[in-house]
Structures are given as C-alpha cells and as structure tokens.
Chains A and B, each alone.
Chain A
Amino acid sequence: MSAELMLDASNQPDLKRRSLLKGLGLVTGLALTVGANGLVRAATAEEPKKFGGDAMPGGLKDDVLVFVSIDSDGIVNIVAHRSEMGQGVRTSLPMVVADELEADWAKVRVVQAEGNEAKYGNQNTDGSRSIRHSFEPMRRVGASARMMLEAAAAAQWGVPVTEVQAKQHQVLHKPSGKTLGYGELAAAAAKQKVPTAKALRLKSPAEFRYIGKLNTRNIDGRKIVTGATHYGIDTKLEGMLHAVIARPPVFGGKLQKFDASATLKVPGVVKVLELKSSALPPLFHPLGGVAVLATNTWAAIKGREALKLTWEHGENKAYESKAYRKTLENAARKPAKAVRNNGDAPAALAKAKQRFEAEYYQPHIAHSSMEPPAATVRIIDGKCEAWACVQAPQATLETVSAHLGFKPENVKINVTLLGGGFGRKSKPDFVAEAALLSQAMGGKPVKVTWTREDDIHHDYFHTVSLERLECGLDAKGLPTAWLHRSSAPTIASTFVAGAKGGAPFELGMSAVNMPFNIPNVRVETTEVPAHTRIGWFRSVSNIPHAFAVQSFANELAHKAKRDPKDYLLDLLGPARKINPDDISDSWNYGESPERYPLDIGRMRNVVELACKKADWGRKLPKGHGLGLALCYSFVTYIATVVEVVVADDGSISIPRVDIAVDCGPQVNPDRIRSQAEGACIMGSSLALSGEITFKDGMPQQSNFHEYEVLRIDEAPRDIRVHIVEHGLDVPLGGIGEPVTPTMAPAICNAIFAASGKRIRTLPIRDQLKKA
C-alpha cells in the first residue's frame, strides 16, 4: 500500500488531509515508512526540500499591512497569529514587531488573528516553533512599519528620509528637532510603499529595546488577575445554549440506543440530539454520542446524568493496559524494522564480552489542561462563526467547514485564550461538535463544554511505550554496540487507520538521533496497534525515549563504576557537529540539517553548566541524591540536575533542580525561564504520578483524584534556570517543550543515587514505599 493510496482512502468529509498531514510531518513520514524496505532513506524530492517555517502549510508571511495598523491616537495594533496557551506568544511575537517598529510597549494593542493561513501564514501553535519560525518575519514586519512612518514624516516635512529617525513612538527630524507622533503619521504612513526586501533595514542587536530584555510584561497579565480574560469556555452570546455530550466510552464504539425521557424532565434542558460517530481513522472528527442542550451548563450536566444509554463498544473493548504491556514487551524482544543502522550492532553485540540490557515503560498520559476543551459556534445566514481555544485554527476551519458542508470562506474561527494546551487543543474535534449542534438548532449559538471527566476519558492520549535497550561493552565499560527497539502505538494511527510503527517525526525524537559516540548503532521500531486516540503531548516521543536513553546511560555508568557525568561526557565524545542525515534522522524537527546539526559541543556545554551550577559531586545528607539527564529536542539543548530526597518511608521530594538551557539567542528571557520552570514541574508530575490505564477499553481515571497531577506542596521547591548566552549568529531553538523529557530520567537517576533503587517503570508513584 502506498502512502498516496492511504491518503486517498478517506471515507470522511474532505478535510484537505494532505495539507493537514503535511503540517504534522506525516506525509513525508508515511512515504518514508511505507516506501522503504528496512532502512529509511530520504525520499527523492521533485523540488528543493524546504525547511523551517517555509515548509509549513501556509508558509511564513511578513506583510506589514496584514500585521500592523496604527490608530490616529497612536495606538499600535499588532496581530498575534499564534495561539496563547501560557507560553507567552501573544506578548513575545508582538514585542518583536514593537521593537523593530520603535513602538512604546505601553501603546501597543495585541489583536488575535482569526484562523486564516493564506493571510497570516502558518498558525499551528505547536512543535516549540512560534518564535523559531516567526522571529525574522516579525522583525521584517516591524522594520517595514518603522520605515513607512519615517518616509511619511520626511514627505510631510519635505526633507530627505536620511535626516529622520523613528524613536519611541515618534519620528524626529534631526537637523530641526521637529517631531511627529505615530498617531499623527498613521494615515500617511499606511499609504507609503512597503519597503522591498533589499531596502529593508533591520535593527542591529545593540539597538534592541525589548528583544532579549525583561521590560515587556505579559500583555494579558492584568486581565488574568482580574478575571477579565476570554478563554474558550467563557464565550457569552445572546440566546446561547449550553451543551454537554455523552460520547462512546470505548474508542471506535458507537451508540446503539438511548432514552432521553428523564433528561427532558430536568429543568433547563431544551433539547437532546444524537451525534453520529465518524468512521475511522479518528482524525479530528467528533466522537459522536448524545448531546444535551440546556439553558445553563449545570442543567446540561444533570440532563446527561439522566440519559439511559446503550453502546456498541466495538473492536477496542478488550483494551487492557497490563495485557498490552505484554504485547509491547513481546514485540520489543524480537528483531523489528531498522530505522537506523550504523556499523553492525548485532554482530558487535554477539562479539561483546559484556552485555547489558534494560526495558523502560512509559504509560499513557492525559494532557488535562486546566481549561477543558470548550467551543461556541453560531450560524447566521449561512455563515458560521466559532470561538474556540485552539492551537491549530486553520485545521479547525477545515474540520468545521467539512463537517458543516460549508465553504471555508463561510467559516470564521476566532481564537480565544487557551487555558493550557500541551498538544490537546491542536485537535479541534470539540469545535466540530459545537458546529454540528448549532447547525442542528438552526444556527442558534451553542457552547459545548467538556467536563474534566470528558477531558480525561476522551483525550488524544500520549502513547504508551516500551523501550528496550541492549549494549555490548568494552573493557572500560563503554558501549561498542547499541540496539534500541522502540515499541509504541504511533500518532500516525490517528490519521491513517491501522497505521503501525514509529513515524520519522516520532523516532527522530531522541531514538534515531541518539547522539552518543558508539561505532555500531541500530535503532528499530516494532509495529503495534493503537486501541485509543493517540496524540502529541508536550515534547511527544522525547518523553519515553529520553527516559530510556538517559536512564540506560546512567545504569551503564554505575555498571562501569564511573561518575555519571564523566561517563555521559565520554558517551558523547568530543565536540563535533553531526549531520542528522548521517544518522538516518530525516526529520530534524523540520529544520535544515546544515543550519541545525546535532552539536555535541553544545550538548557537552549544557551538561557542564548544569553540573557546575548544581555543584555536582557535593556532599549530600543521607537519603539525598543528584541525578543528571540530557535531552536535545526541538533543536534546543537541555541538561537537568535534580536533587531528590528519599525519606525513610520511601516518599520522594525534590528540593532543588538546576536546568541548563541552550535554545540559541533569547527573545523573551523571562518566558524562557517560565517555560523551563513549568516544563520542569509538568515533567516531574508525569514522572511521579502520570498514568492513564485502560480496562475493558476504557480509561480507568476520571478526575484529579484518580489522575493525579503535581500540587504546590509536592512540586520541586527551588528551580534554577541557567541560560547559555548567544548572539543572533546562532539559530533559534524551541523552549515550550524541551525541558519536559529531561525530568523523568533525572529524577530516576537521582533516586538511584539516593537509594540504590532503579526505576524502569513510570510513574514512580509508590515504588519506593516500604510496606
């Protein structure tokens, strides 16, 4: 079966699947997976391969007339085309424009873009790439506006443009000292020619006013602490109905019959509607079920409780986590499909005097952003308008228009603030639900709210995985051979029914691109089926891969009776740059292999920095231990040192974490820190308690009493973020995700140092508790 065939085999509404899949890196992924026998090779491209933002659907846009407008009172309106979910992008990108534009930050208003990639360029807010891809275009936007203001002022004064200069919201005529404010110049500036790429003059970094500084506060900060923000769940429209939905409890199941007579007696309930379940693959389709529409959310919830429902559970009804772990283990203990092969690892393993092997298990996890999915839709005169907390507004537009049978130009997606996203809100199934309900109600505004139980039960879960590592060792205890077999359902199964085997964009996250200096390396992927919706979760496959690889490296160090830091540096080998293509990593986070090689020098440097700041090797009280982990992800280099305390009763606390961050130059340094702090806590939460288990095809956790997330009293207490300084000659890296995957291995390595107990199964939970 070819990739084309699979892509065309849709019995779903036309979702422009090709562009959708391309955006996810799945088209290339599938072509490679399906087309190659055994080893993955780069596809022959008909046109030169594009990288970075240029390779994303919609590409990059830098049209000043799209992104900036100035009011006559001097307020500068700057469009934020990415979704704000806590990473600070509604501040950071407009701040870049404002800097080049010489705007006074106090006079900047941020306007959130609706979903429209033809106009704004790619809007997918994921992959830790908003700043990485949009920094340069946003600089050009700001610089264009600045030059147009200068040209307008020069024309008004009748002086050469070389004599004028824009500075902090006004243009100055240097010889005469005359000034004109941005508001006064706005109308004339808008009529100026947009500077050509050649004429455009960007600031030198020494002239930056906000970029790399700490003087721009969160543009939404005041609204957040006064309760004035608008999240997806907060939309209020005249005559709006509130809906909750009972969805098939087993993935792939559907409604058999239902009785709503008791529901219709609940005060406030207006209507009960059946929603059809879509055929597989799940894509971003609604799951179907029965919707209860009411005059308020509580009545809808009570109404749903009163439904009598009979489901047909379908083919995933036996999905059970313990049994499935066996499936993963069995697959991982047999040869599988090679996706990287340097040297001859099987032969070297066979020859090795000493061998060592270990298996690491990472369960499913749920995103559980504090705002559950929620969306409001209304339809007036054949035009649909949605308000939704979505990371991918263009995919939302395509999904909603396909389900309604509307032309895309008749659908408008307003992006609200997101109360957390973490990858869940890239999937707009919940917006399509609201659209279908509004359509069924003759266009009336309908808000769909997911309860916490809905959110956890019907997540696009992070995959479950079993990572098996085998090593042959030389006399010094260093590996001569490395075999990594990754066994996990693939995210591709959400887009292509029955897809199995890791896709390049999954395996390229710390498995295939494992950076150690080992002569014989083989990485394999098993082919195991998915039994639930699998989606990407903050840092994605780096979570299981880094847990396995960095734990294994630590186990090898102890086996060799070496200091784990020194041993890790030996594994890395000398500072050098590796072309990802040379180690079969065709993905490289979508970036150019020349511009973004694997830089072992930068890896060594973050290890040294984290250890220096953490005072690695210091004397610790009994029960304390230090653990180190390194992860290169989203083209950013992170090393983390965790101090844990294992108490006599086996309970664990984390008094201190030192994180070394090398994400290239810093655009918004405080948000780099906050992302590192937050990812540290989220990664710790996943390691300590994050687990969704399945039984009878259904998740066994329903709310925060069963799916436990870290609270303030359990969180790492003292988190220190150490950022490597770079100029703009170094390319930008991501920051939203990269700290996350270092946490589990650093914590587990610290636990070993503190207690001698090795954790290979996550979460840690009470594995150290004494009976």
Chain B
Amino acid sequence: MVTLEINGTSKQFDVPNEMPILWALRDIAQLTGTKFGCGMALCGACTIHLDNEPVRACVTPVSAAVGKKITTVEHIEHDAVGSAVQKAWLDLGVAQCGYCQAGQVMAATALLKTTPNPSDEDIDEAMSGNICRCGTYPRIRAAIKQAASGVKSAESKQGAKS
C-alpha cells in the first residue's frame, strides 16, 4: 500500500512499490491524460511533475513519489504558467493528433517555471525528450515563446496592481 498525492489529493494505492507512476495514474487512479508512448523514457508522452520537476512517469516507480506532490496535465490549468502554456497552445493551434501534447505541455510548463525567458537552445534542451510524430515542433517552439511573454505580462500587471 502506498500513499500518493495526486493533483492535491492524497489517496492510498494497493500496488507494488516498483509499479511505474504512469500505470498507477492511468489504470488505478483512472487519470488517462498522462500518455503511454514508449515505456523507456524515450518519448516524453508520460511527462508529469513531481514536486514541480518534470519526470517520465513510465520509468519512475510509485515508491519515488511517496511524500512528494504529483501534478498531471489534468491539473496544470490551476498553475499560472501551465494555464499560459495551454492558452498559447490553443492560440497557435499547436496540436495535431494531440496525443503527445499532454507531455509537451507539462515539459514546457516546467521549462518556463525555471527559465521564464527561454532561448532556442533552452527550448531544444528542455523539449528534445518529447517526441511529436505529427511534427508540431515549430508551433511548440512558437507557443513556448508566446507563453513566456504571456507569463511576463501577467506578472507585470500583477506588479502594477500591488
């Protein structure tokens, strides 16, 4: 029995310690927004946040998440950066089939949290673990830049108010 805090709610899971978080999310918690793509941390479709750090849920055992906060794509709109990323994704029509985009959104959100104004090289480094077979990379790059400016302008508005 392990206790996992997922999207702000703690729950007990009767699963082996070594079960990857991905399958606990998808098959036990019924949160299917996090996707299976490779099972080897090669494609990033399963990217979640563990205490705000992007991790690949397909190779991270549930035991590694005990005492930490798991955030999935289902909850990321409650995060200011996550919500700016989602908006930019919609504004630029990034998604094609959309399957990898949960992982892309989570990876981009994690990037912008640590690097609010990413260069192309920063984007390459943070996003090259996330495969998109439809080929939405140019729009992903543009949307990250747009989200970055969105986050900044929201912050400056916040600053002006306070």
Interface residues of chain A, those whose CB is within 8 Å of chain B, are: 84-88, 217-218, 220-222, 224-231, 233-234, 236, 242, 267, 295-298, 301, 368-372, 417-422, 449, 451-452, 670, 674-675, 677-682, 685, 703-705, 709-719
Q: B95 to A218, Cβ gap below 8 A? A: yes
CB distance from A295 to the nearest CB of B (A): 8
- B155 in contact (CB, < 8 A): no
User: From residue A416, how far is it (CB to closest CB) to chain B in Å?
Assistant: 11
- New A-B pairs, 20, CB < 8 Å, besides A221-B90, A225-B105, A452-B37: A86-B95, A225-B85, A227-B32, A227-B74, A228-B74, A236-B30, A296-B27, A296-B28, A369-B133, A370-B37, A372-B36, A419-B99, A420-B97, A452-B40, A682-B134, A703-B39, A709-B131, A711-B129, A712-B128, A712-B137
Contact A419 B35 (CB under 8 A): yes
Q: Which residues of B are found within 8 Å of A236, using beta-carbon distances?
A: 30, 32
Please report the C-alpha to C-alpha distance between residue A705 and residue B41 in the assembled complex, in whole angstroms.
10
Query: Are B35 and A370 touching (Cβ within 8 A)?
Result: yes
**B121 to nearest A CB, angstroms?**
9
| A684, closest chain B residue (CB) | B135
Assuming A297-B23, A715-B138, is B98 touching A705 (CB within 8 A)? no
Contacting pair A267 B135 (CB below 8 A): no
Contact partner of B96 (CB less than 8 A), chosen from A233, A295, A674, A714, is A674
CB pair B97 A86 closer than 8 Å: yes
- Could you say which of A229, A297, A677, A711 contacts B98, with CB atoms under 8 Å apart? A229
Residues in B neighbouring A242, C-beta threshold 8 A = 27
List A contacts of B43 (CB < 8 A).
370, 452, 704
- Closest B residue to A369 by beta carbon equals B133
B136 at the interface (CB under 8 A from A): yes
Interface size bracket, B side: 35 or more
Interface string of B110-149 (1 = CB under 8 A from A): 0000000000000111011111111111111100000000
Contacts of B95 in A (CB 8 A): 86, 218, 220-221, 224-225
A227 touches B73 (CB 8 A): yes
Instruction: Establish whether residues B128 and A370, one from each chain, have CB atoms under 8 Å apart when the complex forms.
Output: no
What is the bound-complex CA distance between A719 and B72, given in angstroms? 32
Whether, in the assembled complex, B26 has its beta carbon less than 8 Å from a beta carbon of chain A, the answer is yes
Q: Is the CB of B135 within 8 A of A682?
A: yes
Tell yes or no: B66 within 8 A of A by CB.
no
CA distance A57 to B93 in the complex (A): 33
Please determine whether A298 and B96 come into contact, CB atoms closer than 8 angstroms: no
Quick one: which of B61-115 are within 8 Å of A by CB?
72-74, 76-77, 85-86, 89-90, 93, 95-102, 105
- Contact check, B93 vs A670: say whether CB atoms are below 8 A apart: yes
A-B contact count (CB 8 A): 185
Query: What is the predominant secondary structure among interface residues of chain A facing chain B?
Result: loop
Closest to A85 in B: B97
Q: Which residues of the other chain, A, contact B20 by a CB distance below 8 angstroms?
A: 298
Q: Is the CB of B26 within 8 A of A417?
A: no
Partner of B39, one of A369, A451, A709: A451
**In the complex, what distance in Å separates the CA atom of A228 from the CA atom of B138?**
24
Q: Is B97 in contact with A679, judged by CB distance below 8 angstroms? A: no
| Residues on the A chain within 8 Å of B36, using CB | 233, 297, 372, 449
Check B97 against A712 for contact (C-beta < 8 Å): no
> Which residues of chain A come closer than 8 Å to B101, judged between CB atoms?
224-225
Chain B residues touching A, majority SS: loop
**Which of A221, A242, A703 gathers most chain B CB within 10 Å?**
A221
Q: Tell me how far the C-beta of B81 lies from the nearest C-beta in chain A, rounded to whole angstroms.
A: 13
Which chain B residue shows the least CB distance to A230?
A: B32
Min CB distance B61 to A, Å, is 10
Q: List 25 A-B contacts (CB under 8 A).
A: A87-B96, A224-B89, A224-B98, A225-B90, A225-B101, A226-B33, A227-B74, A296-B15, A296-B19, A370-B37, A371-B37, A371-B97, A372-B37, A417-B99, A419-B99, A420-B134, A421-B97, A452-B37, A452-B43, A704-B43, A711-B129, A711-B137, A712-B130, A715-B135, A719-B138
Q: Which residues of B contact A231 (CB under 8 A)?
A: 35, 99
> Are B132 and A370 in contact, with the CB atoms below 8 A?
yes
- Are A370 and B27 also in contact (CB < 8 A) when A226-B77, A682-B135, A712-B141 are? no
Given A225-B101, A226-B77, A228-B74, also A86-B96 (CB < 8 A): yes
Q: Which residues of B contact A297 (CB under 8 A)?
A: 23, 26-27, 36
Residue contact A233 to B134, C-beta cutoff 8 Å: no
**Shortest Cβ distance from A42 into chain B, in angstroms?**
38
Q: How far is the CA of A714 from the CA of B132 in the complex (A)?
A: 12
Q: Are B97 and A369 in contact (CB under 8 A)?
A: yes
B154 contacts A by Cβ under 8 Å: no
Nearest 8 A/B pairs, CB to CB = A227-B33, A419-B99, A681-B135, A86-B97, A86-B96, A224-B98, A678-B135, A227-B73
Decide: A713 near B32, CB < 8 A? Known: A674-B139, A677-B138: no
A86 touches B98 (CB 8 A): yes
Is B42 interfacial (CB 8 A cutoff)? Answer: yes
Whether B138 lies near A226 (C-beta < 8 A) is: no
Chain B residue contacts of A680, Cβ below 8 A: 135
Q: B111 to chain A: closest CB distance in Å? A: 12
A221 to B90 Cα, complex, angstroms:
6
Compute how far the CA of A296 lies from the CA of B13 in the bound complex, rounded to whole angstroms: 13
Contact present for B98 and A704 (CB under 8 Å) = no
Across the interface, A217 reaches (CB within 8 A) one of B30, B42, B93, B140, namely B93
Does B38 have its Cβ within 8 Å of any Cβ on chain A?
Answer: yes
